[in-house]
Amino acid sequence: MTQANNPLHGITLEKLLTELVEHYGWEELGARINIRCFNDNPSIKSSLKFLRKTEWARTKVENLYIKTMK
């Protein structure tokens, strides 16, 4: 089964988040998606832990990635 219509196929959450941080920086990322793990002592590790548990936040991050990396 292929996922030709899935723009996130093959991209890990860690890679996605790392690319967004490199592109925007933590401050801008926190302004675009207002969640504590981006605004209060941000790190990849703590953000990944939160995003893996919180579906609505992960969806926002994935949507921003799709819009940014078009």
* Residue pair 61/53 in contact by the 8 Å Cβ criterion: no
User: How is the chain split into domains, by residue range?
Assistant: 13-68
Q: Token pair for residue 63?
A: 């949507």
pTM of the model: 0.88
Q: pLDDT tens digits, residue range 19-65?
A: 999 999 999 999 999 999 999 999 999 999 999 999 999 999 999 99
Between the alpha carbon of residue 9 and those of residues 2, 27, 31, 69, the distances in Å are 9, 27, 27, 14
Looking at domain 13-68, which CATH architecture does it have? Answer: Orthogonal Bundle (1.10)
Cβ atoms < 10 Å from Cβ of 61: 21
Q: What is the pLDDT of residue 2?
A: 59
Alpha-carbon gap, residue 17 to 24, rounded angstroms: 10
Confidence (pLDDT) at 9: 83
